[in-house]
Chain A
Amino acid sequence: MTETHWAYAERMDAAGLRDLMLAYGQDVWNLAFILTRSRDLADDVSQDVFLKAYRTIGTFRGGSSIRTWLLAIARNTSLNAKRTAFMRRTILMGRVADSRSSPSAEQEALARRVSDEIWMQVLAIPYKLRETLILQAKYEMSIREIAELLGISEGTVKSRLARARRRMMDAREEVEQDA
């Protein structure tokens, strides 16, 4: 399927949806995971992204690439999902957890699953810096594309990228010193 095809599609059939998922499913899931830091939430977010794309493909007019469009939906859905999850966990569900072991237990579980220790450092930096860094480093988006996706100025994107890199370099130095 070409980009042009999606730009003029009024609706999507099952085959089209499958093509879209095969082409961009992992990208969408990865972004959702990086932003939410949760495998379960990433599953939910990626599901929502493709269902929304299926339903609203008629509104996509090719202003950006279909990949960028999907990533934008994934980013916004992840942001909402993350916030909701925190609220559920802390306020609404009222679940009892071991206060001292929870954060580190989560960290350990995550550390066992990541493909590269660098991801633990990326996942530790603040959300805004993380998403900006990842959109550039992993998804190879330009400053302008990131600015449009996030709804912020290019200057702000540059500033966040610089801060994100600084955080990462600090983290790398700490790791090297500890080693």
Chain B
Amino acid sequence: MPDREPEWYRRLRGNPLQEPGFTEEQMDRIERLAGERSGASRRRTESRNVRRSSGMEREGGERSEMGRSRNETNGPAANETESATGDRVGESHGYGESRRGKWSGGMEPVAGSGDKVRTGAGDGRTGRRPRRIRLRAAAAIALASVLLALGVWRFGSGGADPAAPGPSATQTVPGGGTATTPVQTPTPQSRLGEPIAVLQLKGMLAEQLPFSAEDVTGFEIYAARSTQALTVPKERTYVLLQNLYNLDLKAAGMTGVGPDHYLGSSESATLRIQTKTKSYTLDYDLATNTYGAFGGTVFRFYADDQVWLLMQGLLNAGSIWAEYDRLSEQSRIEAETRSNADEPVSKAYSPERLQVAGSDYNGWEKQFLPLSSGIRINDSYMGTSSLIQQLGNDEPEVLRVGNAIVFATDANKTSDGVGVGLTRDEVIRKLGEPNVKTNTRWDYRIGDYLKFHLLFEDDKVRFMTLTMPF
């Protein structure tokens, strides 16, 4: 490396900021917190009780501990020095949970007792009462009058101006949300909102979005050639928001002609983003997992794996991907509401026992490498690009999505015989208790990370998963 070290590379050895980051004051504060640990346990319990009674408890008491321990030096939780974020490193690496599982809803700063609470970077240092985010504004879609040529072509209305949405029915959709079903023909994109225009094809999409994430009140999906408008469940709006905000337009740009092989439905859809004041639209194509129609350009941008799974659940509900998405989401919600009594078990399993058909994650990943086909995903936030793929002829046996290898049939098992179809009792007899358990998902630890997971449905293993930590 030193031989061909560019000039900029050497400059990285310095400090990133002009002023020192880690100060004497910080050291004093940390020492004080460390020294006060003796009373931490009792006060921690008290603090949790306060949060519980306020309906503010989150998963494992995590997250807010970080800011609180620094800023509540005079409050009841001043000594809460157990750094959950550090302790539970392993827990954040299953199923892509690290990207979503820890973002539990209902997290609020603790108010009362005169405690000062830090709510996060840039959020201010005092507790503030969060406003409720409205799911949707009014049902009426306003009145844009001109039908664009794109809309005519897209919905095949032959130039007829579709009626504005009228009465609608509500139905349950995967993920636990509701879907609204208009009774008339689909509304053209131009009537759903203002198409999002991107003027520069580089940088982050967030810099060009005409709204802020804080203003978004909800998402709707309008499938082409369908009369249904599906509402993205509130608890999953972050999937779309995160991806749109972190979309690196250069890295996520679609090149070539798309996937060689298509795994799911070829429906394209219109994504309607509702804000407090108006609505915006964006194309989403399930066949390529891409966003498009940015200001009428032909450029398209790959979405990430979480968006793909969410869209499968909404638009391709009968697919194996939708089934996996549904159980994953169910387990995520359960994990967020898990009681503090369910502390993770620290025992680590030997890697060999948690291999599937003799292979670990890396071994299985190699089996997918010869496949050139799949749905491309781009995770701009993590800086990765990969394919969603499946193995199996008549039915999908093994899926690869994001950082997970998912076993969907009993064709592959661990050396103890654990696989799809086993009951919970059989799993315990063959393998043992999991490190982390919810009703739907059991996680097993290898080394520092939770890398082996079982998703249950009707008391039987429905999916078995190997994950690779980020």
Residues from chain B with a CB closer than 8 A to the CB of A40 are: 118, 120-122
| A115 CB to nearest B CB, Å | 5
Say which residue of B8, B12, B18 sits within 8 Å of A138 (CB atoms): B12
Binary A-proximity of B205-234 (CB < 8 A = 1, otherwise 0) = 011011111111000000000000000000
Residues from chain B with a CB closer than 8 A to the CB of A103 are: 204, 206-207
Tell me, in angstroms, the Cα distance from A103 to B20 when the chains sit together.
24
Residues from chain A with a CB closer than 8 A to the CB of B26 are: 25, 43, 46-47
| A63 CB to nearest B CB, Å | 11
Nearest B residue to A115 by beta-carbon distance? B18
Interface centre among B1, B121, B212, B470 (most CB of A within 10 A): B121
Q: Check if B85 sits within 8 Å of A81, measured CB to CB.
A: yes
Q: Check if B251 sits within 8 Å of A126, measured CB to CB.
A: yes
Binary A-proximity of B119-161 (CB < 8 A = 1, otherwise 0) = 1111100001011110000000000000000000000000000
Say which residue of A21, A46, A126, A172 sits within 8 Å of B383 (CB atoms): A126
| A42 CB to nearest B CB, Å | 6
Q: Check if A21 sits within 8 Å of B22, measured CB to CB.
A: yes
Binary A-proximity of B240-272 (CB < 8 A = 1, otherwise 0) = 011001001001000000000000000000000
Q: Check if A122 sits within 8 Å of B85, measured CB to CB.
A: no
Instruction: Take A114-B16, A115-B17, A126-B383 as given contacts and tell me if A80 and B251 are in contact as well, using a CB distance cutoff of 8 Å.
Output: no
Say which residue of B17, B22, B85, B215 sits within 8 Å of A28 (CB atoms): B22
Say which residue of A39, A48, A91, A114 sits within 8 Å of B241 (CB atoms): A91
Binary B-proximity of A100-129 (CB < 8 A = 1, otherwise 0) = 101110000000011110110111011111
Which residues in chain B, 1-52, are within 8 Å of chain A measured between CB atoms?
1, 6, 8-9, 11-22, 26-27, 29-31, 33-35, 37
Instruction: Take A47-B30, A47-B69, A94-B214 as given contacts and tell me if A42 and B21 are in contact as well, using a CB distance cutoff of 8 Å.
Output: yes
Q: Check if A21 sits within 8 Å of B27, measured CB to CB.
A: yes
| A168 CB to nearest B CB, Å | 6
B469 contacts chain A at the CB level, 8 A cutoff:
yes
| B84 CB to nearest A CB, Å | 9
| Listed stretches B95-103, B190-198, B289-297; interface member | B95-103
Tell me, in angstroms, the Cα distance from A13 to B209 when the chains sit together.
51
B397 contacts chain A at the CB level, 8 A cutoff:
no
| A75 CB to nearest B CB, Å | 9
Q: Check if B98 sits within 8 Å of A91, measured CB to CB.
A: no
Q: Check if A91 sits within 8 Å of B15, measured CB to CB.
A: no
Q: Check if B470 sits within 8 Å of A91, measured CB to CB.
A: no
Which residues in chain A, 127-149, are within 8 Å of chain B measured between CB atoms?
127-130, 133-134, 136-138, 140
A68 contacts chain B at the CB level, 8 A cutoff:
no
> Which A residues are closer than 8 A to B by beta carbons?
14, 17-18, 21-22, 25-26, 28-30, 33-34, 36, 38-52, 54-55, 73, 76-77, 79-81, 83-100, 102-104, 113-116, 118-119, 121-123, 125-130, 133-134, 136-138, 140, 150-153, 160, 163, 168-169, 172
| B51 CB to nearest A CB, Å | 14
Instruction: Take A47-B30, A126-B382 as given contacts and tell me if A36 and B14 are in contact as well, using a CB distance cutoff of 8 Å.
Output: no
B237 contacts chain A at the CB level, 8 A cutoff:
yes
Instruction: Take A104-B207, A113-B17, A163-B383 as given contacts and tell me if A93 and B119 are in contact as well, using a CB distance cutoff of 8 Å.
Output: yes
B433 contacts chain A at the CB level, 8 A cutoff:
no
Tell me, in angstroms, the Cα distance from A55 to B86 when the chains sit together.
11
Known: A38-B121, A41-B121. 7 other contacts (CB 8 A): A28-B22, A45-B66, A89-B214, A94-B133, A98-B212, A126-B382, A151-B93
Tell me, in angstroms, the Cα distance from A116 to B18 when the chains sit together.
8
Say which residue of A25, A55, A100 sits within 8 Å of B82 (CB atoms): A55
B449 contacts chain A at the CB level, 8 A cutoff:
yes
| A172 CB to nearest B CB, Å | 6
Residues from chain A with a CB closer than 8 A to the CB of B213 are: 89-91
B376 contacts chain A at the CB level, 8 A cutoff:
no
Nearest B residue to A15 by beta-carbon distance? B31
Q: Check if A137 sits within 8 Å of B9, measured CB to CB.
A: yes
Q: Check if B22 sits within 8 Å of A46, measured CB to CB.
A: yes
Tell me, in angstroms, the Cα distance from A118 to B120 when the chains sit together.
27
| B234 CB to nearest A CB, Å | 9
Instruction: Take A95-B214, A118-B11 as given contacts and tell me if A51 and B251 are in contact as well, using a CB distance cutoff of 8 Å.
Output: no
B105 contacts chain A at the CB level, 8 A cutoff:
yes
Residues from chain B with a CB closer than 8 A to the CB of A83 are: 98-99, 102-103
B409 contacts chain A at the CB level, 8 A cutoff:
no
Q: Check if B383 sits within 8 Å of A129, measured CB to CB.
A: yes
Residues from chain B with a CB closer than 8 A to the CB of A92 are: 105-108, 130
Residues from chain A with a CB closer than 8 A to the CB of B65 are: 48
Say which residue of A45, A77, A114, A122 sits within 8 Å of B18 (CB atoms): A114
Nearest B residue to A171 by beta-carbon distance? B8
Q: Check if B30 sits within 8 Å of A116, measured CB to CB.
A: no
B187 contacts chain A at the CB level, 8 A cutoff:
no
Residues from chain B with a CB closer than 8 A to the CB of A21 are: 22, 27, 30
Tell me, in angstroms, the Cα distance from A152 to B361 when the chains sit together.
11
Instruction: Take A33-B21, A47-B69, A119-B16 as given contacts and tell me if A94 and B30 are in contact as well, using a CB distance cutoff of 8 Å.
Output: no
Q: Check if B69 sits within 8 Å of A48, measured CB to CB.
A: yes
